[in-house]
A and B are shown apart, each in its own frame.
Chain A
Amino acid sequence: MKTESNLEKVLSAGHLAVTSECGPPRGASAQTVVDKAKYLEGVVDAVNITDNQTAMVRMSSFAGSVLVKQQGMDPLLQMVTRDRNRLAMQADILGAYALGIDTMLCLSGDHTKFGDHAMAANVHDIDSIQLIQMVKGMRDEGTFQGGAEIKGVIPKMFIGAAANPFADPFELRVMRLAKKIAAGADFIQTQCIFNVEKFERWMEGVRKMGLHEKCYIMAGITPMKSVGAAKYMKNRVPGMDVPQELVDRMASVAKEDQPEEGIKICLETIERLKGVEGVAGFHIMAIDWEEKVEEIVKRAGLYPRPQV
């Protein structure tokens, strides 16, 4: 074991892990975070706390993670390289670890263009792969990115990264994963999987390079609430691949039955992916639908969560 992370414990014990996410509010209410997180209590092994998701200002991922931790749950601190330079990020890593946060996800972040501060500078002092390297260096070498030694307690983070098997160029996507793993990623959470066939092809490439043995790959799952949501993700969200037949299937049922149809699709996807060699767990991103995660986890046969 590299860390004390609950997620690492679950994964290394060979269980299919489950994570979900909680987006902090666009306000200073601690209660909102607590309320959202409560839906996930006992249902998942770690709760991703997003970092200025879609480049919109929100309560910091750090503060959100601390609030979730205070509820006795395991936060997964997301960190994007868009908003801060390496000094600020390392400072937060030290602070987060000091407050009991031991799991994080290294991302480059959505471009500011998509958010409500399009005029802000995109920092990108380092990229997501260099962030992984930096966190690993802090943990394994006990040094800061600049080379100096970390004094006293060393932050031992279980290091996650994202992968999008559906972005182009497809042939590069396995190599990009290999690079993230070489940089030090311990686990991966993928982009939402709707095009299962394409994901399987990607996993084939992953296995060919033996990457599934070097890193835990958690499949990203998103239940669709409505045909409108399906269309939006298909057409509007960069890097998403929603096949037309899923949109059609959502459209084929009455509006009031669409949420259930969306859940069914997501359960079928989980079932199929359980059979894919190398899939180590599921990351359920129920956007503005956190209350459904428990039902999904239970119906998918992923409940109760193992106590490790």
Chain B
Amino acid sequence: MKDFEPVIVAFCCHYCAYTAADMAGSKRLFYPSNVKIIRVPCSGKVDSLHIIKAFEKGADGVYVAGCLEGDCHFKNGNDKAAKKVAHMSKYLEEIGIEPERLEMVRMSAGMGERFAQVASEITDKIRKLGPSPIKAAAA
């Protein structure tokens, strides 16, 4: 378990987190390679199905990164995403997966540092939690 490297799926909004990730890259900021970024046109486009499938396919952690409050390019997709994440957290609990493995974060396109920091923090958190119970059971 010492060598456990979590797989983390980050659904990143094109207008904020994805650009922030880009910035983090061009600034050569370090963030863990555990985070697999999936670009979405808006965090509001992330569906319950995407989240649940990510876990089913072996993710140890999932987060949705959307724009700051009031800054959604499509009015309120980020708020919708937050509600969906809260809803899916309850479902994860029903299934027997720690709800802390799923998170909603917010940032703006200019926050390269924050992107890197969030990626590191979430990776640390999931590393401490250990492999997802699904992955553990499948192994």
A–B touching in complex (CB under 8 Å): no
Q: Which residues of A contact B (CB under 8 A)?
A: none
Interface residues, chain B, CB within 8 Å of chain A?
Answer: none
